[in-house]
Structure 1
Amino acid sequence: MVLNDSPLVAQATKTRVQAVLRDMGYVYDRAAGNMRSKRSSIVGMSICNLINPYFADVTAGIQEALEELGRVLVLGNCAESVPRQMSFLESLRQYRVEGVLLTPAIATPKSHVEQLHAWQIPLVQVTRYVAGVSSDYVGNDNKAGARLATRHLLDLGHERIAYLGRNRLTSTGKDRFDGFRTTMRDAGLTVRDEWVVDSPSTREDGFKGAVDVMQGRDAPTAILCFNDPIAFGAMLGLRSIGREPGADCSVVGMDDVSEAALWQPGLTTVSIGRDTIGRAAGQLLMKRLEEPERPFERVIIPPELVVRASTGPLRPVAAKAARAR
């Protein structure tokens, strides 16, 4: 009863028992306790890419929320590998986890989510979702975030806007590009194919993408990036060809990782409440454990534009050159 923090035991008794346990070096056998309670107190999380600082921050928020709820987090980084993701999910089943938090790897099939439902393991998809199959979900309004970023560039006078890091195989990639394309269309502007770069979400791809779209006289005056790492690479790429981010070409990222504020110039980006998403995901999973038959719920965290020095008004010289072209 002391080990389970029972309210039926007086505090003085608890203190004496805990002192004896420490002196004896006693370690609670959690596995044996789980056999009696039939609850593991373990939650599994399959993360798609732990190297990405965004996903690392989300994971930290989830862990904090679960610790407060008396749960232990078992983490697996699938590194965008669908087979590795499925192998980890099968391992979680063997450990009889109470629930699973899933950020789906790129091109995750519906069968993975359907399999978790068939195993009757409570599931919350986090930041990404697999289309066409129902489950609890916590994430950012990615379309709205991309609209905020695009509208910011348009308000600064930029109409020649490139997009780096399009990904057609994840919900986040589809939603962010759709938000960009829709906002451009609503402004009466065309998204030029040669200024849209499909790529993974790395600095190296941002560097190469920025250099490629800026070649020649016909170049964009602003770049919207799928995420902050691509934007960091894009700013380095611009400098490699003698263009200064924020002055010669505006750059916007997405996610507002902690590094964004430290760059020179500071990166204009869209904050998506990483800690809020993590805590909401942990709490939603606990609600599912308490009420297994409740309707599926989608928790959408509103984005916020954070303006820094990597964006600026369209310079008169650039505007004149754009009209001439």
Structure 2
Amino acid sequence: MQQTRHRVVVLALPGVVPFELGIPAKAFGLAYGPDGNRLYEVLTCTPDGRPVQTSEDFSIAVEHDARVIATADTLIVAAVKDPIGGGDPLFEPVAAALAQLRPGTRLVSICTASFVLAAAGLLDGRPATTHWAHSKRFRELYPRTPLDPDVLYVDDDDVLTSAGAAAGMDLCLHLIRRDHGSEVANQVARFCVVPPWRDGGQAQYIARPVPDDSGSDTAGAREWALQELHRPIQLAELAARAGMSVRTFSRRFLAETGQTPGQWLTAQRLELARRLLESSDLPVDQVAERAGFGSASSMRQHLAAAIGVSPAAYRRTFQGRNRALTHRQPMNTGG
């Protein structure tokens, strides 16, 4: 007798991002048991069953309306272009759709869809994540949700949230692994030509622009320090560059940057190390020397603490183009 498939319902809202919308159907649709039977059934719906405009220049038509949510074992809300805040006119039909949920249904959001779950009160007191670029707004709107913007996904038992874009695939693979084990999840990953597990979190992908320092009392000292990162820099040197006492400089520095001079220097060394790992083939010990860490061991510790990966793993991620050119592997073209 064939076992009932786990039903995954994907909710597509106006402004849905097509890439993220397609991830659940692809991942769960490729999960097969040892008997060759599919393990999941994936259905896609909109609040009223009508086509929705995507974030791009086309609409998507679906076969189901929100009533199918009442039959879901897992509900996945796909990412939307603009995060939905409380009071958005769009939220009324979304709330009506989510009202179809049965108790015990597993809830999943991909990327900015965490805003939808939070606006519905479904993330109150629950740890969650979202795309790093929207983390500040999320915290402002939903302070009752403990947000971790540095991870690829958060698994809080029956409520799971993912970071941006491809992290939705990481979360779907995690769910398959949780439901049916690593062998099934690895098979899906191979067919999709993606790693079954990624090192680190989304912290390694966060862009940190250099702020405009015009008019800042400590800007000149910081500009000088950026040219001297290869060597030890003493607090007294920085203060002298700014023409201040160490105590005054430290107070002004913290007020202007939100960091102590030591914290700021470490952050700048990390940014330099990341750029060198991405753009050069320098050995790790030379990268550490140029970034002022003194040793490769010290740099590894700081990099792991900041973004959760080793220098080698970071370089593999951001210099993948080199490996693609020099290390070609047979590819299953069926996906």
* Global fold match (TM > 0.5): no
More relative contact order, 1 or 2 (CA 8 Å, 6+ apart): 1
TM-score (norm 1): 0.27
Q: Which has the higher strand share?
A: 1
TM-score (norm 2): 0.27
